[in-house]
Structure 1
Amino acid sequence: MPSYESPELVDLFTTYTAGPESIGSRLTRTAVERGSADPLIAATGADFALYPGDGRPPTVEGFRYSTRGFKELAGISHLGPAVASLVQLREKYADAGWRAEAERMLRSVERSRAANSATLWRETIAVEAYRGREQAIADMIDYSCAVTARYLRTALADETYLNSRTLREDYLEGGPGADLPVPVNQMMIATFFLAGMDISHRMLCWFAAQKIDWDRAMVVIAGRQGRPTAGVTWNTSSVATMILGASEYRLPLERVYLAPHAPTFATPVGGDLTEVAAMEEPLRRIWFNTRATVELGEVMFHGYPRYAPEQLATPDVADSAVTDISEMPVIHGPDDWRAMTTRLRMVLEDPRQLLSGCVTDFAVRQLVEAGNDPAEVVVPGLDAVTYPTGL
């Protein structure tokens, strides 16, 4: 039996919402018109766009996948999860295919080690934010490849060695009697930090050049950020972290909207900003539609407690009694390995997190405090660590 709808009551529903001529749509259109001169920042999974307002053309700056050295560092930073995946294949799933995968990974590690050098990082990859650290980065990669190859060879010679205990004690963290001068956990933090520092440094430079009025700025972080479940809250979005840092933390969180279902634009090719420009109107409409609804709260419920967005409290894991957390722990400094290693665990277990964003907020804050000078930033796991080479 078909469902019945009362035309009169449905008409009342559409009078306010569910249609382009509704009162709600009128409110949004009016808000968009009144705010047409305000700057809008839109972020996708790969680019920032600034719409200055008043019909002026947008400007775009790419990040993440277009970053020099990003994929090279990511290959090294993911050695830990890759080896752990081999352990899972053997221990949990009894998948005999682990051996072929280990052999393939060993070949790739050896090729990477042979190609790596300070000259490669200094003259070819040539990342400005890494200037002066190229030899240290090359040493870290040489060491990481060496200990990974050693672990894989041992496992291939004796498959019982490939287990979660040896993974932690002989490779990731170190244990009694382990021949592990530097834990691989420290390398993972260093590589994630370096990638976050480079992207953040360039983005802070770009935002500074735009001369944005942060009191009037509007932000929409649109579409997918990393894995499908990640980056959908302020505290889990490294993009939001960079924008807040660029404003020197003056931008109110209430003007930042994360819209995972919003339309996005593709990275411009050859300087063609046609698609980017076409997205300004729908993105402004999303921001103002959200804002217009938010502002009804004060009109309708003045005198009741208001919602005040702020950074969520970060737990402190310095106390070893803390065994469970639901937000990223605070990092007390570049030697706070308990907090940073806990973050490595959290970005794997918390589906809201971006895997590569575990220390981006720490990198951004250091950059802001150092006047965006990477040379004045302390890179945990690199600057105060000596990675032995030639193993």
Structure 2
Amino acid sequence: MAFDIYESPAFARLFRAYTGSARSVGIQLTLASEQAHAATPLIVATSSDLALYPGRGAPPTVEGFRLSTRGFKELTAVSHLGPALASLARIKELDPHGPWREGAAELLAATRETREANSPALWRDLIRIESFAGREEAIADMIDYSCVLTERVLERSLQDPAYLTAATVRRDFLEGPSPDLPVPLNRIMVATFFLFGMDLGHRLITWFDDLDLPWEDAMVIIAGRQGRPTAGVTRDSNSVAGVIHAAARGRLPERNLLIAPHAPVFPMYDGTNLDAVSALEPDYRRLWSGVRATCELGEQMFDGYPRFEPSRSARRRVGPGTVTVSEMPAVTGPTDWFALTSRLRLVLEDPRQLLSGAVTDFAAQQLVDHDNDPSKLFIPGLDGEPYPLSTATGVAGRNHSRGYDEGEAS
């Protein structure tokens, strides 16, 4: 079907004069803004790496922080045990004669293999995460317990299919109450997310502190897809943005951070492909400069009217009487289990959220509050929990933590 649309040549020329050609006024504004910020440090975060472009053609420096870092898959594998069992129960509910048995058998075999591979030596000598130093035995015990608990539920489900329901997964695995559940898996999911967030935050805060950036003028872009296709597109739902703000310690203006899900993304940095990272600097500088230049016209054109001031949402406190939340709830401290578990539900139900970002902002802020020293942090779900006999360490009922003072500042 053909459309007969008339376009006035005169109006088309007027359109191109501002925005529709390479020499338009709008493009010239972008180029002028880009030149004005040519020496300004530019930070670009992708889903796996963070690059600093110092400006004036100086080569970038890159810090890997997610898929390319130690322990990510190991921690994520344990984090997935809760959703995996809940998914099997849901598959069985939807199709009792469907493939849930095959999935359960594979999960059981993989869990057993993981338990055999897990040990303090694995975490201390092979994975070697600096921020976990001194906690390797505690982590090994927690993972051993997680595997034993998962195996128990899977074995019973395969023997008695009627057992596998959402209610029994909650009662005997995720939450309780159950006499055979000294530590609910919800707490372990929080612990693994916190450990990931603590390591991410510790490394990035250390990196940024060493750079000694002029945060008041820094340009920041969160580029490309972050997690699932709908996630991380706002400041409040983007865990990397939260870590950057924590590292800046309040000095980075909110307006200087842009989230650009459709921006180009450089390849994951492997230590050798710095040229590929450098090649995108002009595109990133033009993107940031063009967006900010247009935004800054507001002050030029509408002086005397209220200005837009971006801000991060205030965290709302939640308790047993809270029915709904629309944003991440506040966490009053590392033993605020209602808020911490509510965050687990939120990151599943809210498509804007990064699943691994349930407590990243909380972990990063705890690091800032404790001089970026991971050894000073109380890790919810790991520290102070009564983990039973561990085949990984051979120690029964060990409590690995200093106590947590409820009166401590969060």
TM-score range, shorter chain: over 0.9
**CA positional deviation for 1:3:** 1.0
**CA positional deviation for 1:249:** 2.2
- What corresponds to 1:360 in structure 2? 360
- What corresponds to 1:18 in structure 2? 20
Alignment of structure 1 residues 182-193 onto 2, 5 Å: 182-193=183-194
- What corresponds to 1:237 in structure 2? 238
Conserved 8 A contact 2:49-2:269: no
Conserved 8 A contact 1:348-1:355: yes
Secondary structure, counterpart of 1:386 in structure 2: coil
- What corresponds to 2:261 in structure 1? 260
Conserved 8 A contact 1:118-1:135: yes
**CA positional deviation for 1:309:** 0.8
Secondary structure, counterpart of 1:65 in structure 2: coil
- What corresponds to 2:92 in structure 1? 90
Aligned length: 389
Is 1:201 the counterpart of 2:202? The answer is: yes
Amino acid at match of 1:304: Y
**CA positional deviation for 1:95:** 4.7
Secondary structure, counterpart of 1:361 in structure 2: helix
Secondary structure, counterpart of 2:16 in structure 1: helix
- What corresponds to 2:383 in structure 1? 383
- What corresponds to 2:371 in structure 1? 371
Amino acid at match of 2:331: I
Amino acid at match of 1:174: G
Distance in structure 2 (CA, Å) of the matches to 1:102 and 1:360: 30
Amino acid at match of 1:19: S
Alignment of structure 1 residues 1-391 onto 2, 5 Å: 1-175=3-177, 177-318=178-319, 320-390=320-390
- What corresponds to 2:405 in structure 1? none
Conserved 8 A contact 1:173-1:184: yes
Distance in structure 2 (CA, Å) of the matches to 1:72 and 1:375: 21
For residues 16-66 of structure 1, what are the alpha-carbon distances to aligned partners after superposition, in whole Å with 9 as ceiling and x for unaligned?
112211101000000111111111001111111101112211111111011
Secondary structure, counterpart of 1:106 in structure 2: helix
**CA positional deviation for 1:390:** 4.1
Conserved 8 A contact 1:142-1:389: no
Conserved 8 A contact 1:242-1:361: yes
Q: 1:269 to 1:122 in 2, by over 3 A?
A: closer
For residues 41-96 of structure 1, what are the alpha-carbon distances to aligned partners after superposition, in whole Å with 9 as ceiling and x for unaligned?
01111111101112211111111011111101110111000000100100123352
Secondary structure, counterpart of 1:137 in structure 2: helix
Unaligned stretches of 5+ residues in structure 1: none
Amino acid at match of 1:236: S
Amino acid at match of 2:65: F
Distance in structure 2 (CA, Å) of the matches to 1:163 and 1:211: 53
Secondary structure, counterpart of 1:235 in structure 2: coil
For residues 338-376 of structure 1, what are the alpha-carbon distances to aligned partners after superposition, in whole Å with 9 as ceiling and x for unaligned?
001000001000000000010000000000111111001
Distance in structure 1 (CA, Å) of the matches to 2:82 and 2:270: 35
Distance in structure 2 (CA, Å) of the matches to 1:309 and 1:370: 28
Secondary structure, counterpart of 2:312 in structure 1: coil
Amino acid at match of 1:377: L
Distance in structure 2 (CA, Å) of the matches to 1:61 and 1:307: 33
For residues 233-273 of structure 1, what are the alpha-carbon distances to aligned partners after superposition, in whole Å with 9 as ceiling and x for unaligned?
00011110111111112111110000000111002334331
Distance in structure 2 (CA, Å) of the matches to 1:214 and 1:373: 22
Secondary structure, counterpart of 1:234 in structure 2: coil
Amino acid at match of 2:207: W
Secondary structure, counterpart of 1:221 in structure 2: strand
Distance in structure 1 (CA, Å) of the matches to 2:292 and 2:212: 24
Conserved 8 A contact 2:141-2:390: no
Q: 1:95 to 1:244 in 2, by over 3 A?
A: farther
Conserved 8 A contact 2:208-2:247: yes
Conserved 8 A contact 1:169-1:178: no
For residues 159-206 of structure 1, what are the alpha-carbon distances to aligned partners after superposition, in whole Å with 9 as ceiling and x for unaligned?
11000110101110012x431010000000000100111111111111
Distance in structure 1 (CA, Å) of the matches to 2:254 and 2:390: 49
Distance in structure 1 (CA, Å) of the matches to 2:281 and 2:57: 9
For residues 263-308 of structure 1, what are the alpha-carbon distances to aligned partners after superposition, in whole Å with 9 as ceiling and x for unaligned?
1100233433111111111100010101011111111111111111
Distance in structure 1 (CA, Å) of the matches to 2:316 and 2:262: 30
Q: Percent identity?
A: 53
Normalising by structure 2, report the TM-score: 0.93
Conserved 8 A contact 1:233-1:258: yes
